Chains A and B, each alone.
Chain A
Amino acid sequence: MGVDEADLIRRSVGGDESAYELLVEQHLPSLSSYVMRMMANAAEADDIIQETFIRLWTDGYKYKPGSAKLTTWLHNIAHNLCIDYFRKHNRLIAEEGEQPDAAVIGPEENYIRHSLGRHIQGAMMAIPERQRSAIIMCHYQGLSNRDAASVIGVSVEALESLMARGRKKLRNILTLDWQEE
């Protein structure tokens, strides 16, 4: 058991940079894993990860340890920043639309798919953001369904619906990809 996280947050809010540094160290791997899978573009992901941690420094006093885990709180900030970014750049994908096709993934990415990871990344970027976020949080991040639902701001039933639709689309895209090759 390491240093008490609540104490680190309290010290960080008080301006203690060493406490803040420890918090960054603890949460950077998980948060970068989430944001990088949400954004796919390294530069955009960098900006959002940085902004999320700046919020921890400037708005850390808003975090209430009793109401949620710090990782859930940080995921919530990162999720909102990602969605805002896509909205600002008109890149939101409609949730109730047709099955996304290969063109959504981008022509250059079609040429550089030299690994399975690239396939998955392309497919992930082709599904609507909230579905992607739900799948990332439950599959990769290890968040509970309740925590993931609270990050997205939906009920657990709605979260399950988002994930089921997202996974179905992923299966369809990936099956199409491999049939083409």
Chain B
Amino acid sequence: MNIKRFQQLLEAYGTREENWPREEREAARMLLQSNSDCERLFQQYQQLDGYLDEYVTRIPAGLGEKILSGLPMPLVDRIISWLIPDVKSEIWKPAIAGSLPLVVGVILGTSTLGSLLDATEPTDNWEEEIYLLALDDTANGVEVFDE
């Protein structure tokens, strides 16, 4: 630590020892105690720190509550609010949340069952009928005898 570096510390960090870099703090303190030039420099820079300390702030009233009440809702809650905007009771929320998979399951089940039923219905497409006739043995003149 030399006077030049000591002055650099004062210019950057000011005169509060606790604000000086930890690794240089002790050396700077020793130099300040032993060197009158450093002491003079120190006094020169002290005024600004005194002024800065006058600038105090207070947490705005109710800000903590505002932060907590302004939290974005989880996805499930947002869906519930979108589906049923007037739900205020906390008891209903888990019930509705629990029923959501059931609703989704019913919708999926209905659509899948519908498509399966479609597959078993007789076709009325004439091209498919010709194709099926072509596969039929009787169409080639082969007689099938019942035993």
Residue positions of A touching B, CB distance < 8 A? 15, 17, 20-21, 24-25, 28-29, 32-33, 36-37, 42, 45-46, 49-50, 53-54, 57-58, 115-117, 119-121, 124, 135, 138-140, 142, 144-145, 156, 159-161, 163-164, 167-168, 170-171, 174
Q: At the interface, yes or no: B85 with Cβ under 8 Å from chain A?
A: no
Q: At the interface, yes or no: B74 with Cβ under 8 Å from chain A?
A: yes
Bound complex: CA of A120 vs CA of B53, how far in Å?
9
Q: Which single member of B19, B22, B64 contacts A25 (CB below 8 Å)?
A: B64
Report the minimal beta-carbon distance from A54 to chain B, rounded to whole angstroms.
7
B59 CB contacts on chain A under 8 angstroms: 28-29, 32
Which chain B residues (1-50) contact chain A, with CB distance < 8 Å?
A: 8, 11-14, 16, 18-19, 21-22, 48-49
Q: At the interface, yes or no: B142 with Cβ under 8 Å from chain A?
A: no
Assuming the contacts A32-B59, A144-B22, asked whether A163 and B54 have C-beta atoms less than 8 A apart, the reply is no
B64 touches A139 (CB 8 A): no
A117 CB contacts on chain B under 8 angstroms: 54-56
Show 7 residue pairs from A and B whose CB-CB distance is below 8 angstroms, ordered by the A residue.
A15-B74, A24-B68, A46-B63, A121-B55, A142-B18, A142-B19, A168-B11
B52 touches A32 (CB 8 A): no
B63 touches A120 (CB 8 A): no
A116 CB contacts on chain B under 8 angstroms: 51, 54
Q: At the interface, yes or no: B66 with Cβ under 8 Å from chain A?
A: yes
Q: Which single member of B13, B51, B70 contacts A163 (CB below 8 Å)?
A: B13
Please give me the 4 A-B residue pairs with the lowest Cβ-Cβ distance, nearest first.
Answer: A120-B55, A160-B12, A164-B11, A163-B12
Bound complex: CA of A37 vs CA of B48, how far in Å?
16
Bound complex: CA of A25 vs CA of B64, how far in Å?
7
B63 touches A138 (CB 8 A): no
Q: At the interface, yes or no: B72 with Cβ under 8 Å from chain A?
A: yes
Q: At the interface, yes or no: B57 with Cβ under 8 Å from chain A?
A: yes
Q: At the interface, yes or no: B116 with Cβ under 8 Å from chain A?
A: no
Report the minimal beta-carbon distance from A82 to chain B, rounded to whole angstroms.
14
Minimal Cβ-Cβ distance residue in B for A120: B55
B18 CB contacts on chain A under 8 angstroms: 142
B72 CB contacts on chain A under 8 angstroms: 54, 57-58
Q: At the interface, yes or no: B117 with Cβ under 8 Å from chain A?
A: no
B19 touches A139 (CB 8 A): yes
A21 touches B48 (CB 8 A): no
B22 CB contacts on chain A under 8 angstroms: 144
A167 touches B57 (CB 8 A): no
A32 touches B51 (CB 8 A): no
Q: Which single member of B8, B54, B56 contacts A160 (CB below 8 Å)?
A: B8
Known: A161-B12, A167-B12. 8 other contacts (CB 8 A): A17-B71, A32-B57, A46-B63, A57-B72, A120-B52, A139-B19, A170-B52, A174-B51
